[in-house]
Amino acid sequence: MKALTFSTFGDPGVLQYQEIAQPVLKTGDILVEMKAIGLNFSDTERRKGNYHLLGKPPYIAGYEGAGIVADNNGHPDFKSGDRVSFGDVPFANAELVAVPVTHAIPLPAEISFDTAAAILLQGMTAHYLATDSHQVKPGETVLLHAVAGGVGQLLTQICKLLGAKVIGLTSSETKRAAALIAGADTVFLYQDDWKKQVLDYTGGKGVDVTYDSVASTLNDSLAITRILGTVVLYGKAGGLPEPSPSLELLMDRSQTITGGDLWSYLDSKEERIKRSGVLFNWITSGQLVLQAPKAFKLADGKLAHEYMESKQSTGKIILIP
């Protein structure tokens, strides 16, 4: 089979599309012929050597995708030709992937392969952020960092579905427009005095919850979050904050900082099916609208990585074997 691989860490130039042996199925695995694969920021970080990697060179990144069952390996719940998807299975950047049956999510006929590859990781992330890390309530005001990204646009829509007002932060007028289309009530730019703008918008009170995927902005996020409010830290795109947050100020304002990681919530087959099912239902009912993903051939994975790192994208990037 063909796969997108790398044997050394570095820029997109280290990626190679090459023939390798197909995966060997273990008991409890099914073999999936991939039709669409999600590309995520973590994949570029793995390529650079900044994230944990399974196996040994040549490495295969990717954890998300959709396809059809090529071999059910004797498992009674699946048959050849069944449509399935997954959001947390390694080695996805390949034509064939060994998928544990506990991680295989049946794909409804009305959800395309492209949509499944574009929604699962980012969609389930947005879902747990709005329902578990902090339960968004009607009438709340939330602030979303990187609002025009894949998670940001989905989290915007979910927060609006739950009755909240959404303030977004982003880096350009183009991305501001994308966030407004996704449903944000207002969007401020990082290069402006966004902390003053947020406080002015909230009458000096601050927001109820801030979702921060940047991390270096954590002190600013706390400053514009209200007394008794919450900051959810779920990424570190900008590096760790300097200086560290003041524990004294945190106590004085009775604020909460909580961390978030999707893997903590995807701890069973039932959780995977339940959370993906909510997303699929929102999509089929028209309550959740996805921006059409930007598609690249898997063979052109180098171009896809370059495009993601150019910061031009405002939605999902997928790879097509």
Taking Cα atoms as reference points, which of 173, 169, 174 lies closest to residue 190? 169
CA distance 308 to 13: 14
Percent of the chain with pLDDT over 70: 100
Question: What's the rounded mean pLDDT across residues 42-54?
Answer: 89
Question: What's the rounded mean pLDDT across residues 287-315?
Answer: 91
Percent of the chain with pLDDT over 90: 87
| pLDDT reading at 315 higher than 80 | no
Per-residue pLDDT tens digits for 64-93 = 999 999 999 999 999 999 999 999 999 999
pLDDT for 312 equals 74
Classified as helix, coil or strand, 213 is coil
Number of other residues whose CB lies within 10 A of the CB of residue 212: 29
pLDDT for 150 equals 87
Mean pLDDT (the chain) is: 95
Question: What's the rounded mean pLDDT across residues 128-153?
Answer: 96
pLDDT for 52 equals 79
Confidence of residue 146 (pLDDT cuts 50, 70, 90): very high
pLDDT for 240 equals 83
H or E element, residue 31? strand 29-39
pLDDT for 196 equals 98
Q: Which domains does the chain have, with CATH numbers?
A: 2-120+266-320 (3.90.180.10), 138-259 (3.40.50.720)
| C-beta of residue 277 within 8 angstroms of C-beta of residue 299 | no
CA distance 86 to 124: 11
